[in-house]
Homo-oligomer: A and B are copies of this chain.
Amino acid sequence: MTYCCAIKVDDGLVFAGDTRTSAGVDDVRTYNKLHVFERPGHHVFVVLSAGNLATTQWIVNALRRDNDNPDAPQSLSMIRHMYDAADYVGGLSVRAQRESAQTAGQTATNVDFRTTLILGGQVVGEEPALYLIYPEGNCISASPETPYLQIGENKYGKPILDRIIRTHISLEEAARCALVSLDSTMKSNLTVGPPLDLAIVPRDALRITHKLRLDLDTPYYAALKKSWGENLERIFREQLPKFDWEPDPAQQQML
């Protein structure tokens, strides 16, 4: 499994993902799931992936090959509208899965060739956009009411996104929330693991301004984890309202 999320706020886009790939508890590897395609000033695309690793690599290779081939009928460099990019990537995903199934033929046991993707970015002259691309090739976009998208092991990390993500928060606040969402998921599920990748694409920058790889001992991530844990404990110890039968320290001081 995997866990990736992407957030669209007024100021731009945030992408985050883990790097653990597992084909069983005894077949665990580390792979980048955050793929960048950019020509600064013209376009920037980020692809996050969850699902069959071979299918994902097929898609990413096809995207790079098309980009390098001026005669390719379609490529990310030619895209003028974000929706067309999602449609193009969705088409590649379906082709990858179909070819894998055909190649495997009757040798295929119960392999699941499906991959779910998040594609986000901005093309010059267009608004930033974020899409979730289903294994079937179709897609849905993020919206002001649904400003984040998740793929993979999404349940553990959803509550904190629901509480914090609003379109008016800063890119950095959104990035911190994505990291906490990933951290919560890693604590609860062995198939999601460090290091984490984070990319920030400010509106109209048309490039990635910050790309971080954070391991458990990377100073910023270690500080974030510590502060988050301590702050949560303090809320529970000091801030939340007491039941009516509990002694209220403030009251006692007044007596």
Contacts and interface: CB of A to CB of B under 8 A. Distances in A.
Contact of A188 (B159, B184, B232): B159
Interface of A: 155-160, 162-164, 169, 172-173, 175-177, 184-185, 187-188, 210, 220, 223-224, 227-229, 231-233, 235-237, 239-246
Contacts of A236: 164, 169, 173, 176-177
A234 B223 CA distance: 17
Contact of A227 (B159, B187, B228, B240): B240
A162 to B, nearest CB: 5
27 contacts: A155-B155, A156-B156, A156-B158, A158-B188, A159-B159, A159-B160, A159-B184, A160-B232, A162-B184, A162-B187, A162-B188, A163-B187, A163-B229, A163-B233, A164-B236, A172-B243, A173-B236, A173-B237, A176-B236, A176-B240, A210-B243, A220-B241, A227-B241, A228-B235, A231-B235, A231-B240, A232-B235
A187 B227 CA distance: 25
Given A164-B232, A229-B163, A245 B184 contact: no
Given A164-B236, A231-B235, A232-B163, A155 B243 contact: no
A235 B227 CA distance: 9
A251 B186 CA distance: 33
A150 to B, nearest CB: 11
